[in-house]
Amino acid sequence: MLTGHNHTSFTVSDVDRSADFYKDVLGFEEKIRFEVQGERISNIVGFPNTHLKIVFVALGDFQIELIEYVSPKGVKIDTATNNVGSAHIAFWTDDVDKTYEELKAKGVKFLAPPQNSKPGRPRVTYFTDPDDNTLEIVQPV
């Protein structure tokens, strides 16, 4: 039986750039950084000759695993939220407009300014990380 959440993962093009974004821009803490290669990791991920660079970052007890495939290299996919298989992560904020302005000043790319999807719903906005993975900030009603 499942007992809880361990981590969420994004495959990224440059693990150092992505780790810097999550730490310096979003305020995550780096937990661990390592490289792994060989038969065992190849068996786990299902690709021969696998070599990965991995960084775990955390915001409180929520962890994101950032993985760069050194080998075999993958291709950039279209992560637009309307594409099947696409995903996003939403984070709470106590002031979505203030957080939006702070992140925008740091160069974060937003899809639109914060707004409610309809009256009585939380105030939200979507933005992207360096590899166009979608993230969301949500202010409770």
List the domains of the chain with CATH numbers: 8-71 (3.10.180.10), 88-139 (3.10.180.10)
pLDDT at 111: 96
Question: Which residues in the chain come in under a pLDDT of 50?
Answer: none
What's the whole-number average pLDDT of the chain?
Answer: 96
Extract the tokens encoding 103.
């992140």
Place of tokens 């760069």: 68
What pLDDT is recorded for position 141? 86
Neighbouring CB atoms inside 10 A of 137's CB total 23
d(CA 88, CA 134): 5
| Identity of the amino acid at 98 | K
Segments of the chain assigned E as strands: 8-11, 29-37, 51-59, 62-71, 88-92, 109-110, 115-116, 123-128, 134-139
Residue that is written with structure tokens 């299902």 in the block: 46
Give the pLDDT score at 119.
Answer: 92
Instruction: Identify the three-state secondary structure at position 5.
Output: coil
Q: What pLDDT does 120 receive?
A: 93
Q: Are the beta carbons of 137 and 21 closer than 8 angstroms?
A: no
- Distance, in Å, from the CA atom of 115 to the CA atom of 125, rounded to the nearest integer, reads 7
